[in-house]
Structure 1
Amino acid sequence: MSLLNTQKVLAQAISCMAWNGDKSRVAVSPGNSEIHIYKTNGSEDFEKWEREHTLTDHDHYVTGIDWAPKSNKILSCAQDRNAYVWEYNEKEKKWNPTLVLLRLTKAATCCKWSPNEEKFAVGSASKMIAVCFYEAENKWYISKMIKKHKSTIKSVAWHPTINTLATGSSDMKARTFNTYLKEVDGKRSADNKLKFGDVFVEYTSKGWVHSVQFSPNGKWLAFIGHDSTVQFVDYASQDQSVADAQPIESQVVRHEKLPFYCGLFLSDKVFVAAGYDFAPYAFALEGNKWVLKGSCDEMKKTGAAQGVGVRSAFLKFQATSTVGSQNAEKSDAPQTRHHNVINCIEAFKVEGGKVSKFVTAGLDGKVLFWNVADIQKNLGFTL
């Protein structure tokens, strides 16, 4: 195989992960209330990784991790309704947590640092977004709430250049919000009349919106629906000067198989999405139109893959109960490198502002590396 073939299992399941700035360390939650920090030693084989720290302050399942590349602070959130900002104490050789005052009544579901790392957003099942910042006078993190959602927020993403936050929710909407805060962003121009929390625009999906992502230049907004679609919006052409602007028409790209769960822009012209189909898929901008190019995974030609996915488990039960046979398991075993849902996708190597290698992780406990050059060769697109 031309793609890197890391098939070992790091944990029983991975709920979320994040890399530090130079990719020498990675933070992983193994599907429970802990966060494990590994020193990678420059290797893509995690048998050579060393677990340096285990962070245990969360009481319930960890739902989000984000590692600020400049300040080296780790942000985490969990179903215990809390978020922490972790800072490394070089003298003590340990990560010290600072509790964030979220005031949530239900689970925190996702979190993300802003591009300048001066504030961050935490989504929740309380139908609220907490936009948080550090108050130096009292030496704590405080939050201001955005209460414009009708259901659980599943994803947040910051625009790379302006104070705009995109959210994806299980109310089947993707929205963008004004997140200007005088305490952090300073004095604004006199012609800017928008208030904190004002909705710029609201887009509609026909399924839960699992993920929202901005392209590196901020021109495109992509959001992933549970109806097996990815929608692309030319956000640079969207009116962002008024609240509740009329949404411009999105480009809907359909997938014939199971829905995606997470996504990543490799460049301003290429997007990858992964999820319930156990493999990443590439989308490319051709002219003015986004098209699905195909799976990034190389299918195995011979032999059954190890492990059992949701579909193969169902077929095994069906065959056993109807004809007394278990042959269905062998014929329908996962033929992909991942053997369960992919719920994390992160850039690993960026060259000239374009991702040349990315990483996926999922409920099978695997961390897999993908060379973009090999995928380009197979699918025929340019970054």
Structure 2
Amino acid sequence: MGIDWAPNTNRIVTCSVDRNAYVWTQGEDGNWSTTLVHLRINRAATCVKWSPMENKFAVGSAARLLSICYFEKENNWWVSRHIKKPIRSTITSLDWHPNNMMVVAGSSDFQVRVFSAYIKDIEDQPEATAWGSKLPLGQLLAEFPNTPSGGGWVHSVSFSADGNKVAWVGHDSSVNVADASQGRAVYKLKTRCLPFLVCTWITNNSLIAGGHSCIPMLYSYNHAEIKLIAKVENSKKKQTEGLSAMKKFQRLDKQAIDTDDTCLESVHQNAITCINMFGGTKAQVKKFSTSGLDGYDMTVKYSYIDHF
């Protein structure tokens, strides 16, 4: 259900519906060894993500809780601490604040929540941020509903590079931004696209979203409004192989058509389910990659000047 790579320490963390998470470490011989994480959950683990400093990670689950996991040297294993209230449904996505101390989680109860993920056993006292100054583990710092105008469960969340903004996309085909520097105001754009499944910031004022429309979309935020800037890819018909006589007659028999005109005018032929940075940082992404249910992936070189 979830996988994430820590590039600096070269460790991988995975989680799945068997209610377990594993940390994978590569040895000098090139082989990978696994360490079980003590999650203590009774439902499926749905998503996982390393913190920016890679000394801990967060795991979302259908158990209506968020697990903050860190390595305990005394016992040589990964342990977890739970954040439960006020989560009321499955956590579908999460992301870390750049300061390594806060995490944002989206869930199927139509809510986006910002929590403190400070572990005093392994970290120094955090500094005050726009989201709050008191940061004990599990402290609810902000809560944003995705319910106006019909609402929908939250598919993806993302902190901006400066940490002051949270973006999320929901099943109501919306793109949303909550800005802590603007009194935690929430801005919502209802789009005409099919629902988005993933989103990520690529500068402090722009983000990429993708989903069932099969095309990455570029949006810009100017502290008062979210605007669609462009489709990132050039739509074009995917080349298909010619039909054999047998396939042609089979299609005539089953579908009453004699053409293979079922391809979309986009690179991806099914929903985009993942967008990852391939070069640069969230403050200035140079490349990003997308992958989808069609089994294809795409890498995009990106050069963008903020429109605002």
Structure 1 residue aligned with 2:167: 222
Superimposed CA distance per residue, residues 64-84 of structure 1 (whole angstroms, 9 cap, x where no aligned partner)? 111112111111111111111
Structure 2 residue aligned with 1:154: 92
Structure 1 residue aligned with 2:235: 299
**Within 2, Cα distance between the matches of 1:110 and 1:188?**
25
| Percent of aligned positions that are identical | 36
Structure with the bigger percentage of helix: 1
Secondary structure of 1:261 counterpart: strand
TM-fit CA distance, 1:219:
2.1
Contact 2:238–2:266, Cα closer than 8 Å, also in 1: no
Q: Aligned AA for 1:367?
A: D
Secondary structure of 1:137 counterpart: coil
Secondary structure of 2:157 counterpart: strand
Segments of structure 2 that go 5 or more residues without pairing to the other structure are 242-250
Contact 1:174–1:202, Cα closer than 8 Å, also in 2: yes
2:285 is equivalent to residue 348 of structure 1:
no
Structure with the bigger percentage of strand: 2
The normalised TM-score by structure 1 is 0.70
Secondary structure of 2:41 counterpart: coil
Structure 1 residue aligned with 2:113: 175
**Within 1, Cα distance between the matches of 2:259 and 2:185?**
44
Secondary structure of 1:221 counterpart: strand
**Once superposed, what is the RMSD of the aligned Cα atoms?**
2.7
TM-fit CA distance, 1:289:
2.5
Structure 2 residue aligned with 1:164: 102
Contact 1:101–1:142, Cα closer than 8 Å, also in 2: yes
Contact 1:306–1:334, Cα closer than 8 Å, also in 2: no
The normalised TM-score by structure 2 is 0.86
CA separation of 1:335 and 1:188: change in aligned 2, threshold 3 A? closer
TM-fit CA distance, 1:350:
1.1
TM-fit CA distance, 1:278:
0.7
Q: Say which of 138, 144, 162 aligns to 1:203.
A: 144
TM-fit CA distance, 1:359:
0.2
Superimposed CA distance per residue, residues 17-63 of structure 1 (whole angstroms, 9 cap, x where no aligned partner)? xxxxxxxxxxxxxxxxxxxxxxxxxxxxxxxxxxxxxxxxxxxxxx1
CA separation of 1:232 and 1:329: change in aligned 2, threshold 3 A? farther
Instruction: Kindly report which structure 2 residues correspond to 1:1-383, keeping only aligned pairs within 5 A, or say none.
Output: 63-90=1-28, 92-148=29-85, 149-161=87-99, 163-187=101-125, 193-205=134-146, 206-238=151-183, 248-286=184-222, 288-300=224-236, 306=240, 325-326=256-257, 330=261, 333-350=263-280, 353-373=283-303, 376=304, 382=307
Contact 1:168–1:212, Cα closer than 8 Å, also in 2: yes
TM-fit CA distance, 1:292:
1.2
TM-fit CA distance, 1:116:
1.1
Task: Tell me which of the two structures has the higher relative contact order, counting C-alpha pairs closer than 8 angstroms and 6 or more residues apart.
Answer: 1
